[in-house]
Amino acid sequence: MDTPSLSHLSKIEYDHVYEPAEDTFLLIDALEEDLALLQNIKPTVCVEVGSGSGIVITAVAKALGRTSFYIAVDINQVACKVTQKTAQLNGTDVEVVAMDLMSGFHLDNKIDVLIFNPPYVVTPSEEILGNKMYGDLTRAWAGGERGREVMDQLFPKIPDILSRCGVFYLVVISENCPEDIKHLMNDLGFIMHVVKERKVRGEYLLVLKFTRK
Tell the smallest beta-carbon distance from residue 208 to ligand SAM (Å).
14
Tell the smallest beta-carbon distance from residue 212 to ligand SAM (Å).
24
Of 137 and 192, CB closest to ligand SAM = 137
Cβ neighbourhood burial of 84 (10 Å; 0-12, 13-18, 19+): middle
Tell the smallest beta-carbon distance from residue 16 to ligand SAM (Å).
10
Of 130 and 184, CB closest to ligand SAM = 130
For residue 129, what are the CA distances in angstroms to 76, 100, 119, 140? 11, 11, 11, 10
Q: Quick one: which H or E segment has residue 112?
A: strand 111-116
Tell the smallest beta-carbon distance from residue 132 to ligand SAM (Å).
17
Of 76 and 163, CB closest to ligand SAM = 76
Written as one string, the DSSP assignment of 2-71 is: PPPP-TT--HHHHHHSPPP-HHHHHHHHHHHHTHHHHHHH--SEEEEES-TTSHHHHHHHHHH-TTSEEE
The answer to whether 81 touches 106, Cβ cutoff 8 Å, is no
Q: Name the closest residue to ligand SAM (Cβ).
A: 50
Tell the smallest beta-carbon distance from residue 117 to ligand SAM (Å).
4
The answer to whether 16 touches 75, Cβ cutoff 8 Å, is no
Of 43 and 143, CB closest to ligand SAM = 143
Of 53 and 123, CB closest to ligand SAM = 53
- Contact residues toward ligand SAM (CB under 6 A) are 18, 20, 24, 27, 49-53, 55-56, 73-76, 79, 100-101, 117-119, 139-141, 150
